[in-house]
Amino acid sequence: MDDRKKYLLNFFILLILIYLFLKNFEIEIAKLLTIIIGSILNTHYFENKLIYNGMIFSIIPACTCSFEIALFLSYIFATPKTPIKYKLIYSIFGILVINITNILRIIFILKNAHLANYTLIHDIISFIIFPIALTLNVIWVKILLKIGVVKKE
């Protein structure tokens, strides 16, 4: 099996495994996000519910970015011929970036929830997470090229 096919196979296997693993913790992650966002906005919260501007919002499993994190981590850990220390360091960095962006995304959605077309606003703002994960993956490749771990073909 050539390297590209092996990489893709590793990537898809890791994507499934990491996503299934994260899926088991989505409600706990949603509750943690609720605590963080409730504290930042200085508003009341309980479990995965926030009360903001007189409205109740639920931070649901889909709000946790578990798929985007799984996509990001799969890409990093499937990268061949890369020392594990680089993978771990960059994974921690990327998870922080994705989660900080996600927290800002949720806050921005809450701050604009009073607008007439909430669903459209929610969907547009939510789209930002996927490009963030993809951008992190491009940065990963650039770092590996720069330090000489991978060579440009």
Question: Could you give the number of structural domains in the chain?
Answer: 1
Tell me which residue has tokens 């993956």.
137
The series of mean pLDDT values per 10 residues for the chain, 153 residues long, is 83 96 96 96 94 91 92 93 93 96 91 77 79 89 84 69
**Looking at residue 116, what is its pLDDT?**
66
> pTM (2 decimals)?
0.87
Kindly state the DSSP code that residue 80 receives in the 8-state scheme: T
What radius of gyration do the chain's Cα atoms show? Answer: 18
Residue 115 within a domain: yes
Residue 152 within a domain: no
Residue 43 within a domain: yes
Kindly state the DSSP code that residue 63 receives in the 8-state scheme: G
**Looking at residue 147, what is its pLDDT?**
85
Residue 153 within a domain: no
Residues 6+ apart with CB under 8 A from 72: 91, 94, 95, 98, 133, 136, 137
**Looking at residue 131, what is its pLDDT?**
87
Print the domain residue range for 116: 3-147
Catalytic center residues: 63, 105
Residue 36 within a domain: yes
What whole-number distance in Å separates Cα of residue 64 and Cα of residue 80? 28
